[in-house]
Structure 1
């Protein structure tokens, strides 16, 4: 495909992304939360684009917009479906590309497949999920979990940041929570799920490549660490006699950093993202600190080993500094490897453009983690400037987006030969 063809696809993707970015709860910054009027407006626009691309459009009980392309004829793969998806919700003060690029890439790719071939020997569904970010309700991947047949009905009772129960929000959105079970695919029908997504990191940019093949969605552990020391006068307690909870917490944070650096070959990352210090006065030694630990790794075994070592480090630091400290788990999700054949399919599509298929894991969570309980998954990463995401500065070039759509087209065109026939 010539460069001007990539640019044409990319320009169309950019126009659609900008149209979606206009749908926001606030003027001047992008906020589009699950089951809000903005979500409704975005879902309607996406549904219109799907219909214009030749897809039959429906919406399930959790608000996932589905564009369906039935297979041609009655071949051996006519009962199988390739699922292509991402999300249309955002974080607060978001960038325009996270999630939405994957939905738009799916629509544009299938539109081109329809133009070239009419229909494929297998079915295709493009899915626009509504809640991947978890910005409104304290639960994520609700839509994709329902697609996989693993929706937890207990989530219906959770309350949003604006005090609305999920089941009530669904009813206000025009949905019947009793029908959520109908959203699940039959495992015999769902052949694979793939997603195009901005990298949200700097690896592709540093490598000088537009596209990359995801090897796995990283495992995650989130914990709360509490450190109890003793308050004292900042001017009168000698340093050697202090039981400073913040100093101990800082040493624990550095221990976490050291563990992650020591496992860099497994793409391990560790983050202390939130910290509360009490009593919080300029002239008082901190007596109580509570902070978060986010640890991610490509493999579960290395993550669990690092957590065990961190617990040992916390105990040793607490003993040496004469404080009390403990760690409590708040969230854990296992790594989700991407299917090797789907990886090869994307690598072949990248090579077909003359690119180098860099392979890398995703440190961020995605809908594929939930859909992976249903069928094999694959992901294509797209370079983003500076690795910036969840930020208004988020940016992906027109040409890179065009290359991503073209790669997805090539992947779809070879799916029955490269995957279904494998």
Structure 2
């Protein structure tokens, strides 16, 4: 079995760990989370790594470098899923990282390469999606040391708090800070991930490098009107919350498209929800993303003003609660260059640079170390859906590129060319950046 076949077989094995018998669902701090961690830990040990589960429920493995205690280059992605998920979002990055660590372990053991000048660590983050508690990046933010004590009161749909879930999983909430890593402990972070977009496939390219990860803000918008009899209330007397919300959804799309940002209303709930009653309240979600925080925030100012105008015109009240904010996370130029070298080594002389419209654990880890990302082509750009698909040849090239990137980082480290931390985050000097990529 080739390494790519092993990686794909492991993704298939992870598919069997699900809370549902009919679709893939693996949420934070659940029995499925524990089983996935145990499986990944077995693979990590097989790759020659020392393993542990950290204080936030992330599964970790480490291979020492030329001497014990050196800073680590961290590879990883996440093991949790959205409900009714595909097989590769997050999981492919974890299994690829394990496979690359296994390759390097074997090569060093057999004398085909010298020991790395740093430790190599692999991490499977516990909660990137935020599907259970509504807060994304819990696992990686714990590692980044950006944990917020207010999160302990978050509740899942059954009313279980995050604090309770930690205890039920066997974790001590008082020790979550022990998951945090210090900047001096890390060389950098590399993450492989399916693109979750159509650009690589359109260019017939297996791989791409990431220039920046979109800054995101999420809101809960509540529109309050008046619930009244559908037959007895004339139009001029109506304060229909659903009509106002519907107009808002259309306005959000129109304004975001004009601004070059990405805005999505993924949830709309109406009360009282009866066929013969005018809606008295409508609650909707808004997910807003852009390549830069300034572009995202300017778009929100414009959108909010228009939503207020709509509500005023319809005699409705608008309440806005921000539920999530993550700054844009540019990839360090030197790590972009290492990823580009890896892609070039697979035969693609003009690698494509992309800004990631989707969020990733890398954006949390950017708070403590430089980040770089490798994108792998996925079928039709589909993600967060059972139809997610990757080709074995693309995975094989991705493994070669990721391994080469690790070795390129090692050479830079030996040559003294790795900065402690860098603000140099522009696109890599070689490669083709798609329109809209952030500088």
TM-score for the superposition, normalised by structure 1? 0.89
Aligned with 1:19 (options 9, 13, 17): 13
Q: 1:144 aligns with which of 133, 140, 145?
A: 140
Q: How does 1:325-404 map to 2 (within 5 A)?
A: 325-355=318-348, 356-404=350-398
Structure 2 vs 1, CA of residues 174 and 406 (structure 1 numbering), >3 Å: closer, same or farther? same
Q: Does 2:187 align with 1:194?
A: no
Greater RCO, 1 or 2 (C-alpha within 8 Å, sep 6+): 1
Structure 1 window deviating more from structure 2 (308-317 vs 344-353): it is: 308-317
**Hey, what does 2:287 align to over in structure 1?**
294
C-alpha RMSD over aligned residues: 2.5
Aligned to 1:308: 301
Contact 1:133 1:140 in 2 (8 A): yes
For the structure 1 residues 287 and 63, does the alpha-carbon distance in structure 2 shift closer, same or farther, using more than 3 Å as the test? closer
Does the CA contact (< 8 Å) of 1:9 and 1:401 recur in 2? no
Compared with structure 1, are the counterparts of its residues 196 and 25 closer, same or farther at alpha carbon in structure 2 (3 Å cutoff)?
same
Checking the alignment, whether the CA contact within 8 Å between 1:86 and 1:127 is kept in structure 2 is yes
Shift of 1:99: 1.0
Taking a change above 3 Å as real, the CA distance of residues 281 and 28 of structure 1, as seen in their structure-2 partners, is: closer
Deviation, 1:285, is 4.6
Query: Matched residue of 1:192: which SS?
Result: strand
Taking a change above 3 Å as real, the CA distance of residues 411 and 326 of structure 1, as seen in their structure-2 partners, is same
- Conservation of the 8 A alpha-carbon contact between 1:341 and 1:418: no
- Is this contact kept in 2: 1:345–1:418, CA < 8 A? no
* Corresponding pairs, count: 410
Counterpart of 1:255 in structure 2 is 251
Aligned CA distance change for structure 1 residues 88 and 231 (closer, same or farther; 3 Å)? closer
Relative distance call for 1:379 and 1:312 in structure 2 (3 A) is same
CA distance in 2, matches of 1:184, 1:280: 45
Structure 2's unaligned 5+ residue stretches are: 110-114, 419-439
Could you tell me which runs of 5 or more consecutive residues in structure 1 were left unpaired when the two chains were aligned: 1-6
TM-score normalised per structure 2: 0.85
The verdict on how the C-alpha distance between 1:27 and 1:243 changes in structure 2, with shifts beyond 3 A counting, is: closer
1:80 — aligned with what? Answer: 71
CA displacement 1:316-360 (0-9 Å, x = unmatched): 333444544453323222111111111111112112212232111
Deviation at 1:167, TM superposition (A): 3.8
Q: Quick one: structure 1 residues 276 and 27, their matched pair in 2 at CA, closer, same or farther if it must change by over 3 Å?
A: closer
